[in-house]
Amino acid sequence: MNAPSKPNDYSAYPDAEGRFGGFGGRYVAETLMPLVLDLGKAYAEAKADPKFQEELKSFNTHYAGRPSPLYFAERLTEHFGGAKIYFKRDELNHTGSHKINNALGQILLAMRMGKTRIIAETGAGQHGVATATVCARFGLPCVVYMGATDVERQKPNVFRMNLLGAEVRPVTSGTGTLKDAMNEAMRDWVTNVHDTYYLIGTAAGPHPYPVMVRDFQSVIGIEARAQMLEMEGRLPDAVVACIGGGSNAIGLFHPFLNDDSVRLIGVEAAGHGVSTDKHAASLTGGRPGVLHGNRTYLLQDDDGQIIDAHSISAGLDYPGIGPEHSFLHEIGRAEYVSTTDEEALAAFQLCSTLEGIIPALEPAHALARVGEIAQELGKGKIVVMNLCGRGDKDIFTVAEALGRKI
């Protein structure tokens, strides 16, 4: 097969069927199909409605705390001695990650559709906390599915969700991580389609979720682009973000897609190494397939069974990736690299001591590659990294990995 050519205008994607080239689509049970089609219509209407956009903007500003700053990481820049390193500070948002951007957008849509019950899946708990937060704010009951393994390793976020009034349901099937939580959320949805809205946390799932989540997260890239023009008078040379399902990355990348001069670099979780069977790098180590409603790159065995992903970061250990990333990967518009658990831990500590910012383990994966990228670009160039979450939730995992008791 010939490599597909790069499009001139990326805003044309997805098409009406939710396809990004050969990826995306709607692969769900018939019971859900009418709902998924309704959701597509409802979102298209909301997107075009200035009132909806105004309301979302207002909550982003006054509730979530947007715009998040663009920060020049001077000491890290000096440390690596290459391009200037900027952080998009999405860890400063209310609830401590980029997840609130999407949760706010989707809950406004759910209410517009008259839904009265919200369900969500969560890995690290960041999306669960964001969903529980908006459910509390708007007074809707909330059930969050979370892998039992993640419930154990992300206790502070479980407690946080409970404080916000959400019910956290541990999922024991599979390895008890994000993929299994998503299966269980889909089972709930198919059973309670009449009143329930499934608030998916990443830019994956059946159409329109990938485009909807991307749009809500694009506020990251739109702000970063404008802030960069204001601070440096030009666009960055590269933008970098970590990838699990890929929502923060697509949110950062998307507003730069048509800017050919800007390199887009996604960082997957390599766990113990992409050549081992313990990683979560679906683009680097997987191949296309269908899971959770969309066609995309997946970790799978010879028989098409999904392989459990591994990462020290509970937010990244998902065996798939949003379909738009698969598309950008295949046409070569974005580059995808990977970071091991060990490298992420080192970057986590480096950022903490050099910048006074304790990052989440997720963006620590991106940070682990930023030094090389800055050196490769060289002085006089600019790289922007999305610092998509803060590390409070990860201190127990990190302490354990470092052999410390807290």
Can residue 175 be called a binding residue for other proteins (CB under 8 A)? Answer: no
Rule CB under 8 A: say whether 76 interacts with other proteins: no
Calpha distance 193→121 (Å, rounded): 16
- Applying CB under 8 A, among 191, 261, 276, 375 the residue interacting with other proteins is 191
The nearer residue to other proteins, 96 or 286, going by C-beta atoms, is 286
Nearest approach in angstroms of CB 180 to other proteins is 8
Q: Which residues contact 311 (CB under 8 A, 6 or more apart)?
A: 244, 269, 271, 279, 280, 317, 341
Distance (Å) of CA 256 to CA 190, 200, 209, 384: 37, 24, 21, 12
303 belongs to the binding site for other proteins (CB under 8 A): yes
Q: What is the dihedral of CA 135, 138, 141, 143, to 10 degrees?
A: -10
**Closest distance between other proteins and the C-beta of residue 30, in Å?**
4
Rounded distance between C-alpha atoms, residue 227 and residue 66, angstroms: 12
∠ CA 313-28-186, nearest 5°, is: 50
Q: Which CB sits closer to other proteins, 93 or 202?
A: 202
The CB-of-329 to other proteins minimum distance in angstroms stands at 18
Please report, as residue ranges, which positions from 35 to 64 form the binding site for other proteins (by CB under 8 A): 35, 37
In whole angstroms, how close is the CB of 122 to other proteins at the nearest point?
17
Contact residue for other proteins among 94, 179, 225, 254 (CB under 8 A):
179
Q: How far apart are CA 309 and CA 269, in angstroms?
A: 9
Residue 304 binding other proteins, by CB under 8 A: yes
Least CB distance to other proteins at residue 217 (A)? 24
For the chain, give the number of residues. Answer: 406
Q: Angle at CA 267, nearest 5°, toward 20 and 219?
A: 60
Please state, in angstroms and rounded to a whole number, the distance separating the CA atoms of residues 198 and 187: 11
Q: For residues 323 and 200, give the distance between their C-alpha atoms in angstroms, rounded to a whole number.
A: 14
Task: Note whether 194 binds other proteins by CB under 8 A.
Answer: yes
Min dist CB 191 to other proteins, Å, is 4
Here the tokens at position 61 are 């500003």
| Amino acid found at 132 | A
Q: Is residue 186 part of the contact set for other proteins (CB under 8 A)?
A: yes
Q: Provide the pairing of β-strand 84-88 with 382-386.
A: parallel
Residue 231 binds other proteins (CB under 8 A): no
Interface with other proteins includes 115 (CB under 8 A)?
no
Question: What is the chain's Cα-based Rg?
Answer: 19
306 near other proteins, rule: CB under 8 A: yes
Q: Site mask, other proteins, residues 263-292, x = CB under 8 A?
A: --------------------------xxxx
238 binds other proteins (CB under 8 A): no
Interface with other proteins (CB under 8 A), residue from 15, 17, 49, 372: 17
Q: Of the candidates 4, 6, 33, 276, which one interacts with other proteins according to CB under 8 A?
A: 33
What is the binding site for other proteins (CB under 8 A)?
17, 25-35, 37, 173-174, 179, 183, 186-187, 190-191, 193-194, 289-293, 298, 300, 302-306
